Amino acid sequence: MNEQEQAVGRTVGAVLGGIARTLQSEPDVESTLAAIVKGAVDHVNGAEYAGISLVERGRKVRTVAPTDGLVATIDEVQYRTGQGPCLDAIAEHQVFRISDLTTEKRWPTFTSKAAAIGVRSMLSFRLFVSEATLGSLNLYASARDVFNDQAADDGRMFATHAAIALAGAQTEERLHVALERRDVIGTAKGILMQRHNVDAVQAFAMLVDASQATNVKLYEVALWLVGHRGEV
């Protein structure tokens, strides 16, 4: 690595450190993702657009926080045809760099449609922490041969930071949801204890019985009870 490449690496590292600190202050997953893709466009040379293909439960993939509507349109072609670099980055755990979609042969159905939309170059990076694949970070450009080796290296570094930030945000959001649901159930139990003169165990049993009898999730039963406490 020459001095210029080392200097670029130090600059990108400093930028990523700043972005990582910024991401820690973002209030939710969606805000974190928006910060990630904006940072990618700002700091990976040649990137005009960016988005994240996020793996959800059931292995469903959807595009989140696209910097432009063009990103969602192109990604939808991948999901519909079942082929493309974003999907393969997730499935094959590789980095995919496309220099010219008009001559790319690996995904013929996808590339012909994507090129018609106006994209020529792409970079797709798997987002992962340990063995868990979170999705892919995808960069797009309208000109061909945009992403050189340096852009690929910078993008890879950014994807690593993005994956860590995303994993942390998802964990925090799951914790927040769990705590919120626990509080709702606790409030519902308190209502039943007061109205029916029962203890906490009996109140919880009443919620469980109502859930089973109505085939409605326990949390949703508790949420309904809290919202209609004057009717119980």
pLDDT digits (tens, 9 = 90+) for 187-197: 888 888 888 88
- Say which CATH class 177-231 falls into: mainly alpha
Domain with CATH 1.10.10.10 in the chain: 177-231
Using the 8-state DSSP alphabet, how is residue 68 labeled?
Answer: S
pTM for the predicted model, two decimal places: 0.68
Over residues 67-91, the pLDDT tens digits come to 999 999 999 999 999 999 999 999 8
Q: Give the pLDDT score at 14.
A: 59
CA distance 93 to 85: 11
Domain with CATH 3.30.450.40 in the chain: 3-175
Angle at 230 between CA 229 and CA 232, to 5 degrees: 65
Identify the band that residue 182 occupies on the pLDDT scale cut at 50, 70 and 90. Answer: confident
Contact assessment for residue 154 and residue 137, using Cβ atoms and an 8 Å cutoff: no
Fold classification of 3-175 is Beta-Lactamase (3.30.450)
Over residues 118-163, the pLDDT tens digits come to 999 999 999 987 777 888 999 999 999 999 998 998 888 888 877 8
